[in-house]
Structure 1
Amino acid sequence: MLTLAMVIIALARPQRSNEKVEQSTEGIDIMLVMDISESMDLQDFEPNRLEAAKSTAIDFINGRFGDRIGMVIFAGEAFSLAPLTTDYELLTDLIDDISFDMMDAKGTAIGSAVATATNRMRESDSKSKVMVLLSDGDNNAGNVDPTFAAELAEAMDIKIYTIAVGKDGMVPYGTDFFGRPQMVESYLNETTLRDLARIGKGQFFRASDDKALENIFEQIDQMEKAEILESRYKETQDFYRPYLFLGVIFFFIWLGLKSTFVNNFLLD
């Protein structure tokens, strides 16, 4: 009976399958372009526009996977803070250290910033290239026309998202002698940023507070996802051999005991 049982199990060919799934991503190249001009110190965001933008940008970076991300900052001139990299820890440290005294030139050179970011992405061979520009002002400095810079970016298949940061009207800025909040007038001209997004085949956003800014970065995060490539491997192992081997052993044991007193005893 044991012999027959082992043979039946062996004929059933018991197996164990081990399926492996390997995932890889075809990342996106993203260049963050951030305004650090004096008006970014206005406090209609907590604690001000620049710090809110930095915090949200860091959260955005930490939510990405497999993308190369770089950073350009600008005021009256533009400066490449970080090339495209996957070293997110280094990048977030650099962003955390951004301050208003990093540039002496006054004003808002949006055209120069777009041109600098485009130049940083010039040699990228990624299938998807994205620029996210954040500013609270109109182009009033630099020697590069924003429209020309955007057309150059579009020619290199760089999609441009623009975010206008701030409220129109009276907004808080510092305190007076008695510690009371001071109010200054803020006016944001959206025209340039809207034109950049239109030329760059991206999208324009308006952020009036911290929450709106977070929501905008979340939207961009959802729209610009890396392509996940999945490969499946299936390994199968047969386990019929031990049962067949045991069946053969039991068979020979039965043959050896067939003519002995043990077999006669069992028959009796």
Structure 2
Amino acid sequence: MNIDWANEEWLWGLAFPALLFAWSIFHRSRTSARRKGSQAQWATAGFSGIKKSSSSRIHPPKAFLCSALALLVVSIAQPRWGTEKTITFERSREVIIAMDLSKSMLADDIKPNRLERAKLVVESMLETLQGESVGLIVFAGTAFLQSPMSPDYQILRGFLKDINPTYIPQGGTNYEAMLNTALDSFEQSDGMADRFLIVISDGESLESNWKAKARELKEENVRAICLGFGTQSGSFIPDGEGGYLKDPNGAVVLSKLEANTLKQLANMTDGVYKEASLWVDLAQLVEDTVKSGEAALKEREKENTLVERYHYFLAPGLILLLISLYLEFPTLPKARTIKRKVAA
């Protein structure tokens, strides 16, 4: 039978109960020799009837304590032997959500407005995920990672609730900065998962330098799921003071959905583009995209898992420890009667 140890270094601790046992035997033998000498002196002096101490009984000294310590050390070392069949589920998926925070996302052609509708769509996706690592990027004229990838969705929900266009005062829709931030975030993972970049935006990039970053996404096996929030008819952008944003000429700005960049990004990464003027089941969209990929939710059967056996040593070790404490607990000494021989 082959025994495997999870904490093999703890086996060095067996030296302590061994040394304690050896020291106890040595100490008991010396004490016994002194006691015999004392009894001989009392007998010479004419005393008799000295009751022998119970400590002179022949039994391994502190045997229970030393055995208990040895068993506990073995338990801590976690012995494992034998195998059992286990079935585990492996979900290998990483998702980064890139949320456009330009002021145009406040337009209300989608109720209550584009940004709030996007938050609701993302929230609904989080309700259905089971263990995926999810991160959040916010972007406008620049971009930064708001929430690193993590399976703890409560952290992401906290950020998602509070984000708004004031997070990024620099206006515009900088796809290059957003894609660069996404690439940096994916590089921190092990690269063995399905990777998705969910881009939520209403505008297109006026520059084409983002395409080089899109090709890098493709090389890193990241597929973009692009959601266009807005309508073709568009809407005005509230300025936060009861009016609407105006251009330098004083005309009110009408914001429409510009989906060209989103469509190109999806095509370049073998992803998918979806217009979100109506409700989008983002979780199902991810699932559908996964089916065309390589990795997904996998059932993996392991037949060679070693079985933990530490409890076989832990339970008797604790019992012997309690017994040793009971036997070693000090008691009040009993009175002894000493008789002196009367000379004839």
2:299 aligned with 1:218 = no
Query: Which residue matches 1:265?
Result: none
**Aligned pairs for 1:86-235 within 5 A:** 86-124=151-189, 125-140=191-206, 145-171=209-235, 173-174=237-238, 185-209=254-278, 211=279, 214-224=280-290, 226-231=296-301
Query: Which residue matches 1:250?
Result: none
- How far apart, in 2, do the equivalents of 1:63 and 1:138 lie? 30
Q: Which sections of structure 1, spanning at least 5 residues, go unmatched?
A: 1-19, 234-268
- How far apart, in 2, do the equivalents of 1:97 and 1:67 lie? 22
Query: Which residue matches 1:45?
Result: 110
Whether the 8 Å contact between 1:25 and 1:66 is mirrored in structure 2 is no
1:164, CA displacement in angstroms? Answer: 1.2
Does the C-alpha gap of structure 1 residues 153 and 208 become closer, same or farther in structure 2, counting only changes over 3 Å?
Answer: same
Does the C-alpha gap of structure 1 residues 172 and 106 become closer, same or farther in structure 2, counting only changes over 3 Å?
Answer: closer
Whether the 8 Å contact between 1:162 and 1:204 is mirrored in structure 2 is yes
- How far apart, in 2, do the equivalents of 1:114 and 1:171 lie? 27
Does the C-alpha gap of structure 1 residues 46 and 187 become closer, same or farther in structure 2, counting only changes over 3 Å?
Answer: closer
Matched length:
206
CA RMSD of aligned residues (A): 2.8
Shift >4 Å, 4+ stretches: 172-175
Query: Which residue matches 2:101?
Result: 36
- How far apart, in 1, do the equivalents of 2:234 and 2:132 lie? 39
* Bigger strand share: 1
1:127, CA displacement in angstroms? Answer: 2.8
- How far apart, in 2, do the equivalents of 1:195 and 1:148 lie? 12
Normalised TM-score (structure 2): 0.54
1:184-221 CA distances to partner (integer Å, 9 max, x unpaired)?
63333222111111111111111113x2xx33453224
- How far apart, in 1, do the equivalents of 2:155 and 2:236 lie? 33
Percent identical:
24
Query: Which residue matches 1:73?
Result: 138
- How far apart, in 1, do the equivalents of 2:235 and 2:289 lie? 32
